[in-house]
Amino acid sequence: MLTETEVCNLVLEAAGKSEKELPKPRILALRTPALELLSKRVKESADYQGMQKDFSVNPVAGRVDLSAITNILFDLDHARVRVASTNQTLTTVDSHETLESGQLPSDQVYYAQDGRDLVILDGNGSIVAYTTALKIKANFIATLAAADLPDQYSKTWIATIVELLTPAGSEAMETTKAGGA
């Protein structure tokens, strides 16, 4: 991931401005909002897999609380849920109602999103019993602390910071915040 100096120099260059016009602290303060905006945009793009990683979770009574997973950007259509130890893929269904009443085959484990939770139907037909450790491959919000922005997005990150320095860019950030993850 780019250093502070690299970010500042690249932003100044891309914006065509001097350090006097764009003070360093202002640029640095926009690194995190730009990472968030970039992460959310990647999640919505066709290239969403470029910013996916595995999150380890331990279901409790057949549920996984997505809101308790730091920096996950979960999308039911794009995420993959697998058993941590075997890599066996759990099958997505569209709703809690399908889990309960869909008479699904018992040779698979199914899950559905229910608000901020994932609900899991085990092979015995119970939706309150599954506890096997899982990993969720999903999009994530890159952070400075984790330095986990893939190199391929460095240029886009710089462009996003430059975008946020403009009034239109700030509006884009506000829209994304209002829309949530």
**Interface residues with other proteins (CB under 8 A)?**
76-78, 91-95, 98, 102-105, 107-108, 110
Alpha helix segments (H runs only) across the chain: 4-15, 24-29, 31-44, 96-101, 154-164, 167-179
Rounded to 5 degrees, what are φ and ψ at 59? -60, 145
Given the structure tokens 């939706």, which residue do they identify? 127
Separation of alpha carbons 159 and 144, rounded Å: 17
CB of 148 vs other proteins, minimal distance in Å: 24
Closest to 30 measured CA to CA, from 166, 178, 125, 181: 166
- Looking at the Cβ atoms of 77 and 151, the one nearer to other proteins is 77
CB of 121 vs other proteins, minimal distance in Å: 10
CB of 171 vs other proteins, minimal distance in Å: 28
- Looking at the Cβ atoms of 94 and 174, the one nearer to other proteins is 94
What's the DSSP call for residue 142?
-
- Looking at the Cβ atoms of 16 and 105, the one nearer to other proteins is 105
- Looking at the Cβ atoms of 14 and 76, the one nearer to other proteins is 76
CB of 103 vs other proteins, minimal distance in Å: 5
- Looking at the Cβ atoms of 56 and 91, the one nearer to other proteins is 91
CB of 40 vs other proteins, minimal distance in Å: 18
**CB atoms inside a 10 Å sphere around CB 151:** 8
